[in-house]
Amino acid sequence: MKILFFGITRDIVGKPEFDAGEFKEIGTVGDLRDLLNAKYPRLKDLSSLNFAINEEFAEDSKAISANDEIALIPPVSGG
Amino acid sequence: MERIIELVEDLDPGKVYEELSHPGSGGICVFFGAVREATKKRKVSHLFFESYENMAIKEMNRIADEVAEKWNLNKVIIKHAVGNKKVQEPVVIVGASSAHRDSSFEACRYLIDTLKEKVPIWKKEFFDDDEVWVSAHP
């Protein structure tokens, strides 16, 4: 599983991506959210934080598989 | 409906008429978004845009599908810039062409509003002494 960080989440985490070998016990997007919030508490200060699995928005209940590409999507601000 | 969807370093606003013109279109409506010199009275030096490229293209295509469903259009364009952009430079171009003007006006508004809401692109504002990811915090 690969996790990508964009915008302010990259600044908070300090890198653009990592291989999430250390997160072996993750079952769902919600589990990953809880783990990341615990490790990087500044994520909780954001207006919103969505997740994408393989380039599609994913709810917290969505299961994560070993080969998925996960992305953190902080509030978008294009335009 | 034909579509032109791109993320690019530099937008060329001069090409858009040609890109949207179509023998069946009597109306073409285009919106340009540009870098403004100030935010809440603070002077902006430049903006930086980044995207989650593959997902952004997917979401832009989804928006094009939606306007094709809602209105009778001949062509649609959705282009967004990435990288550093100076004051007055264009950062986004959306537009539609249709037989009559109502459809292209309405579709154009929908294109920019939905892009700003859904497409994974992020903007950082640079001030002389600070830098801020737009909308990140309440």
What does the pLDDT read at residue A26?
83
Q: Please give the torsion angle defined by the CA atoms of residues B3, B9, B15 and B17, in that order, rounded to the nearest 10 degrees.
A: 50
B2-132 carries CATH number 3.90.1170.40: yes
What does the pLDDT read at residue A66?
85
- What integer is the mean pLDDT of B93-120? 98
In chain A, the number of structural domains is 1
Q: Which of B122, B95, B124 is nearest to B110 (CA)?
A: B95
Judge whether A60 lies within some domain. yes
Question: ipTM higher than 0.90?
Answer: yes
Q: What is the pTM of this model?
A: 0.95
What does the pLDDT read at residue A25?
74
pLDDT in tens, B7-45: 999 999 999 999 999 999 999 999 999 999 999 999 999
CA dist A74 → A2, B84, B117 (Å): 17, 20, 12
Residues 72-101 of B with CB under 8 A from A: 80, 91-92
Q: What is the DSSP string of B41-72?
A: TEEEEEEEEEE-HHHHHHHHHHHHHHHHHHS-
What does the pLDDT read at residue B122?
98
| Longest CA span, chain A | 38
Judge whether A78 lies within some domain. no
SS3 track for B26-47:
CEEEEEEEECCCEECCEEEEEE
- CB atoms under 10 Å from CB of B30, counted, come to 18
All residue ranges of chain A with pLDDT < 70 are 22, 24
- Domain with residue A21: its CATH number is 3.10.20.30
Q: Which residues of A touch B120 (CB under 8 A)?
A: 6, 52, 71, 73, 76
pLDDT in tens, B49-86: 999 999 999 999 999 999 999 999 999 999 999 999 99
**Interface check A13 vs B, CB under 8 A:** no
What does the pLDDT read at residue A19?
81
In 3-state terms, what secondary structure has residue B3? strand
Selecting from A6, A46, A78 the residue whose C-beta is nearest the C-beta of B116 gives A78
Q: Spell out the domain ranges in chain B.
A: 2-132
Which structural domain range is residue A19 located in?
Answer: 2-73
**Interface check A25 vs B, CB under 8 A:** no
